[in-house]
Structure formats: C-alpha cells, structure tokens
Structure 1
Amino acid sequence: MAKQNHRRRVITTRKSPKKSSTKTLKKKLVQIAIVVFSILIFFGIVYHYRNGLAYYFSFKTDKLLDKAAREKHISDVRNYQVLEKKGNKATGFDVSEYQEDIEWKEVKTLDDDYELSFVFIRATVGKDRLDKKFNENWRKAKENHFIRGAYHYYRPDENSLEQAELFIKTVQLQKGDLPPVLDIERLSENQSMERLKIGLKRWLTMVEAHYKMKPIIYTGERYYDDFLKKEFSDYLFWIANYNFYREKMDEDWLFWQFTEKASISGIKGNVDVNIFNGDVEQLRFITKE
C-alpha cells in the first residue's frame, strides 16, 4: 500500500485588533484614574493644611515675612494646625533636666500667638533619683507666674511605695499648684501587668492621702487604651499622642501632649507642648486651694 503524506494544517489564531486596542485603552484609563486620584488627595491635603503650610514656609504676610519674627515658630505644620483649632483651651509645656538651663523670663508664648499658661516639671525618677533641675525650675516657674505641676517618672520594677515617698519628700505643693502626676510609660520586665497595676495604685493612693488631691496619670494613648482605661477610670489622664492625623483631643482627656518637637523661646532644643481640656479659669479650678 502506498504511503500517503499527510500535511498538518497549522491553524494560527490571530488576535483581533479591536480587542487588543480595547484592553490597552482600559489599562490607560485605569492609570489615568490613579494619577488623577493621587493628585486630588495631594491637593486635598495641601488645602486642609494650607494655614500651617503658609505659616511654615513664611507666606503669611502679617508677620512671617520678617525673619526675626519666625525665631519662635513651631517647626511642625501639624502643630500649627492643632493650635489653630484649640479655641480657648489653655496651652502649656513640660520640662526636665534635659532642657538644661531655661531662660524663664523669655518663656511666655508660642510664636507670640499662643500664651503659655502652665508647666509640668519632672521632680523624681524611680525610688532614688531627683531631677537635677527640679528645684530651680519649680521655683522659677512660680516666680514667672506659671501654673505649675510636678510629675514622677515611674519605674515599673522598683518598689512603688519607695517611689511615692521620694516624690512626697521632694515636692511641696502650694496654693495654685496642679495635682501631682504619675508618669507611666514602660511595661515591667520582671512582673505581670496585674502586679504592675497594684504598684501603680499603691503610689496613687499614698500620694493622694498626703496631698489631699487626686493625682493625674500621664501615659501614651496606646498604653492608656490597652492597660489603664478601665481599671483606672476614676482618675483623670494626661495623654501623649503625636499622630499626624489627630488634630483634636478626646473629651475624656484632661491634658493632651500633642507634640515633643515644639520650639519655645528661652528653652534649648525641642519641647513638649500640651493642651488642657478647658480654659485658664477652668485650669485654676483644679489646682490646690
């Protein structure tokens, strides 16, 4: 039988020019949409922070074109935005030995616009350490008419009663002074959270009994939410939160430390700045009688 040669027919499928162009068009439209959306977000952010940006880049013609008038400016755009929205809430700051020698007579306002009404001063650390500048800062704050308050930096793995005794021995509150403050920022390395909370309560109880004033607790927002908010709900809180997108304080915060990077005339380097959840008269209402 003779062999027959069979030729295979190779069928080539060609893409339709119409389908290919449609796919390319869709891809380009998606890319354009992403670009447009990004531009809208960018300009939205710029518009939202327009006053702060103008302030930061010295476009406000009333004072900021003068270089000398910018020396006291707040470096962060967000800080300016927060201060613009605070209304009549009192503004203050906090210091420790890390600010070194403070020219207290020069410490009055933030950029001549925001009066500084109060100051918190670190007094003690743990069970055995005094802040090197406390006595000087405490005295000069009073001499320069600031509403002053003292705080203790709590070390979780040291005896709570010894820490309270050191604070009581160091700080003599007078009429017009703010309640004592317990600064808790760290977790314990050697004990459970429950034991740490017991120590905090012992410190608070002992200090309150001595001064006849309920202490304020200072901490970060996450620490507050995770560990303290429920069990210490009968205390008032001073919360640290530097989140760029937060521009207002929660109603249940007594004080809000909204930045650690402000500039204040008379103080070297960065300074923590705080807002009280009320005006100056309301602030005086919680001071020692």
Structure 2
Amino acid sequence: VYHYREGLAYYLGFKSDKTQYEKAEAKRISDVRNYQVLENHEGKAIGLDVSEFQGTVDWTLVKTIENSYPLEFVFIRATAGNDKVDGQFKNNWLGAQKSKIIRGAYHYYRPNENSLEQAELFINTVQLQKGDLPPVLDIEKLPKEQSLKNMKLGLSRWLKAIEAHYKVKPIIYTSEKYYDDFLKEEFSDYLFWIANYNFYREKIGDDWLFWQFTEKASVPGIKGNVDVNIYNGDVEQLRFIAVE
C-alpha cells in the first residue's frame, strides 16, 4: 500500500520535495507498472513517441522495451504551432526508417495560432511514404485568446486541410480527460490516441486506437525517459492503417 500510494503521489505531482530514496522508489514502481501493462497486452503492437526533448536518438539500439517487447512503431514530432520545426525531426524520421520501425509524424497544435498556417507548416515539413502512419494532431491546451467554439473550428480546419493533402484521415492525440470533456462528441468521426498514465488504468480503451500509458520508460538508444504506447491490435493490423 505504501509503494502504491507513494507511486501515485509521484505521478500526480503531489510531492515536490522528494528525496533520492523516494525518487528511486517511484521509478521502481513505474517500471513494475510498465511491465504489468505490457504483459496485459501480449500480442499488441508496442511503440514510442519522440521529439527533440529526447536529444539525439541512436536508432540502431532502439529495438525492445524490458528486453522482451519489440518496438514496432514510433510517432515523431515534426512541427509545433505555425513556426516551429522540431530540431530532431529529420534525424528521427530517417533513423526510424533505416531501423525499419513503422513511423508516423505528429503536429503539436497551438490553439491561439492560425490553424491553416499550422497545417501548411506540417505539410511543408512532412513527406509521407507508403507504409507510414497517418498524420497526428496533438491537442493538449485550451485557448486563451479565443472561444472554445472557435478553437474547435480551428482544429477542424487543420484536420480537413491535412486530409485533403495526404488523402488519409488524421488521428487525434490528447489526454483522456480532454477527450471526454471537449472532443468526444464533435470529433467522433476521428480515431484517437489517448494519454492516460493513471495506476487504475490497466487496459487500453475499446474505442482507443493507441494508448500512451507511460511517460517514464527507459529504452536503449534514448537518454532519459520516453513515452510508450500500445496499438489496439497486432502489428499486421497496424500496417493495415498505414498510408497506401
């Protein structure tokens, strides 16, 4: 119970003055949970997502997690807002391809910036090839300079512009709460990649395409922590949703 409580407090950010022991305990609990979640999803495709925050990735070493589960796919941040190209996008995009990991690109959406300019930046940055995953819209923040209604209109414009260009329907990434509160009804035509790191969640949601279940995994070839994701199907089914 102590370990569970302390681990939960770590994830929810209740403790700001953690000792080294407490940090080590939280990391150990995180590792145990990661293994248990992976074990619960035997046969599902496992992947990760990266950006410049992971620094330079050695893609020749990115093969498995927990030395047991092959990493089949990766989502790579390409752009953010209307002016930011991820500093490691090119290296990650080519590195994943050389390592034969199924790759996809995502855009971090800034609600207070022009949606079509954001779509244009993504289009000018990302050239999808056969076998790549559909584009992803990452939405995490609420607007500060416009209404929620106008933000949703902007999201819709981005999604439609991307679909028109790539001829494939994009995927939406967000947290479970954001999905339930703001997107579930209006964007029900889209498939979702959901982030939920809570200890109570042990299985992927039936209506989730991907589940980002941790942000604190360790993977060879990547310095520091990395996000790990589960696809709601096996690797052959994952290839089925790829760009043709």
Say if 2:35 is the partner of 1:77: no
Say if 2:82 is the partner of 1:156: no
Q: 1:240 aligns with which of 185, 195, 198?
A: 195
Distance 2:32 2:63 in 1: 21
Q: 1:199 corresponds to which residue?
A: 154
Determine if contact 1:74/1:111 at 8 Å carries over to the other structure. no
Q: 2:205 corresponds to which residue?
A: 250
Shift of 1:150: 0.0
Which has the higher relative contact order, 1 or 2, with Cα contacts under 8 A spaced 6 or more apart? 2
Distance 2:146 2:101 in 1: 39
Distance 2:62 2:31 in 1: 19
Distance 1:250 1:102 in 2: 30
Question: Highest CA radius of gyration, 1 or 2?
Answer: 1
Determine if contact 1:151/1:183 at 8 Å carries over to the other structure. yes
TM-score by length of 1: 0.74
Q: 1:269 corresponds to which residue?
A: 224
Shift of 1:198: 0.1
Output one character per residue of 1:55-87: Cα deviation in whole Å (capped at 9) or x when no partner: xxxxxxxxxxxxxxxxxx995221111011002
Output one character per residue of 1:193-231: Cα deviation in whole Å (capped at 9) or x when no partner: 100000000000000000000000000000000000010
> Deviating runs (4+, > 6 A) in structure 1?
none
1:9-28 equivalent positions in 2, closer than 5 A: none
Say if 2:96 is the partner of 1:141: yes
Change (3 A) 1:74 1:110: farther
CA RMSD of aligned residues (A): 1.4
Q: How many equivalent pairs are there?
A: 220
TM-score by length of 2: 0.88
Distance 1:208 1:288 in 2: 12
Distance 1:282 1:176 in 2: 12
Unaligned runs of 5+ in 1: 1-41, 46-72
Shift of 1:111: 2.0
Q: 1:28 corresponds to which residue?
A: none
SS in 1 for 2:60: helix
Distance 1:254 1:194 in 2: 25
Output one character per residue of 1:122-165: Cα deviation in whole Å (capped at 9) or x when no partner: 00000001000001100110000000000000000000000000
- What amino acid is aligned across from residue 278 of structure 1 in structure 2? G
SS in 1 for 2:57: coil
Say if 2:169 is the partner of 1:214: yes
Q: 1:180 aligns with which of 106, 123, 135?
A: 135
Say if 2:53 is the partner of 1:88: no
Distance 1:182 1:100 in 2: 22
Distance 2:240 2:179 in 1: 25
Distance 2:220 2:191 in 1: 30
SS in 1 for 2:91: helix
Determine if contact 1:75/1:263 at 8 Å carries over to the other structure. no
Q: 2:124 aligns with which of 169, 172, 179?
A: 169
Q: 1:287 corresponds to which residue?
A: 242
Determine if contact 1:183/1:219 at 8 Å carries over to the other structure. yes
Distance 1:220 1:125 in 2: 18
Q: 2:78 aligns with which of 97, 106, 123?
A: 123
SS in 2 for 1:106: coil
Determine if contact 2:35/2:66 at 8 Å carries over to the other structure. no
Determine if contact 1:107/1:264 at 8 Å carries over to the other structure. yes
Distance 1:200 1:75 in 2: 34
Shift of 1:261: 0.1
Determine if contact 2:138/2:174 at 8 Å carries over to the other structure. yes
Distance 1:252 1:75 in 2: 25
